[in-house]
Amino acid sequence: MSAIDFKVIKKDGPTAARVGSLTTPHGRIDTPIFMPVGTQATVKAMTPEELGEVGAQIILANTYHLYIRPGHELVARMGGLHEFMRWKGPILTDSGGFQVFSLTELRKITEDGVKFQSHLDGSYHFISPETAVAIQEALGGDIIMCFDECPPYPAEYDYVRRSMELTSRWARRCKEAKRRNDQALFGIVQGGMFTELRERSAHELCEIGFDGYALGGLSVGEEKRVMYDIMESCAPFLPEDKPRYVMGIGAPEDLIEGINFGFDMFDCVMPTRNARNGMLFTSFGRVNIKGAAYAEDRSPIDPECGCYVCRNYSRAYLRHLYRAGEILASRLNTWHNLHYYLSLMAEARKAIACGRFAQFRREFYAKRHKGGEE
């Protein structure tokens, strides 16, 4: 029996967009949803209470980083991630596969798993599918992910095929290794930018049977059109009655397209990382708050935004904080960006429920075009 319950409540009709309800041991999630990334058991610059205020329903934590520091055994002794970080809502933990992918010069992939060096101190470690599941069970997230190999882009067909086949074998081992009944396990569809391999991967994962299905291996350097083509072609390969998750994509337009193709869950560091670099997201496009044009600008970041930051602070003040290197700049910028992302999801859900997502999508792009973005 699955640890989660997922129901599709309403389909848009003209598009593949859908509104759903995902119930987990730590609460219910309205989909489509964006998950803020809390890599090291914290969404940078935000407290758990503030995450709730901006509308976060579920957050993501990173298996690789928490395994390296402070260690999954310590987190388990502290009562698991929920107790450790004092977040009461649902948590999804990724398997660490993407982080291992990023350690190209520091890892070796075999049938058994991956041997790699820590990015912190160079110490050697080994993670197998069984280890990845054990670490995530110790962390205690509501949703855990299969261990996968994320192929680089570009890559030759034969390499991607072998990688996809390895991911399928690892997925079966992950399911066999899973012991906790209060956690859901998602399989990860791989296959690079080859639709034939993506279809085969999805078919093999569905045969194994998982609580939900994710697309991995996107936003690794490919062009937007290629990313969108893969999302659009892969959605029909995945069960309609299971959550569909696109991993690691995060520009606002990527989320809108993902929803349009019928996906339910998204995550990315983009809103938080960009906030710390002075890049803010608005209804009319991106704002680089570092710009001299904002030095004496009394207006809020986004006149259409009702977040705490836009209600209280001017662009001029936010520019000053950033240029002065103040910690408050990261906090306020992050607050605004996450509020924007989560509000965008809420507005999309409302549009789908009303059968007007196609119109909502057109208006989204029209505003950005009017604001000067392509």
Pairing of strands 27-31, 107-109: unpaired
Closest C-alpha to 169, from 158, 161, 159? 161
The answer to whether the CB of 137 falls within 8 A of the CB of 180 is yes
Closest C-alpha to 148, from 109, 206, 184, 121? 109
Backbone torsions φ then ψ of 357, nearest 5 degrees: -65, -35
The residues, ordered by sequence, that sit 6+ positions from 134 with a Cβ below 8 Å of its Cβ are 72, 177
The answer to whether the CB of 166 falls within 8 A of the CB of 144 is no
State the catalytic residue, choosing from 142, 211, 254, 267.
Answer: 267
Integer-rounded Cα radius of gyration of the chain: 20
Helix (H) or strand (E) holding 19: strand 18-24
Closest C-alpha to 127, from 159, 164, 162, 94? 94
Task: Count how many residues are written for the chain.
Answer: 374
State the catalytic residue, choosing from 94, 148, 211, 254.
Answer: 94
Instruction: Determine whether 94 is an active site residue.
Output: yes
Helices (H), the chain: 48-53, 63-68, 72-77, 80-85, 97-102, 129-139, 157-177, 195-208, 224-234, 252-260, 270-276, 308-312, 315-323, 327-353, 357-370
Residue 7 to residue 23: CA distance in whole angstroms: 9
Look-up of token digits 């990173």: 62
- What residues act catalytically? 94, 267
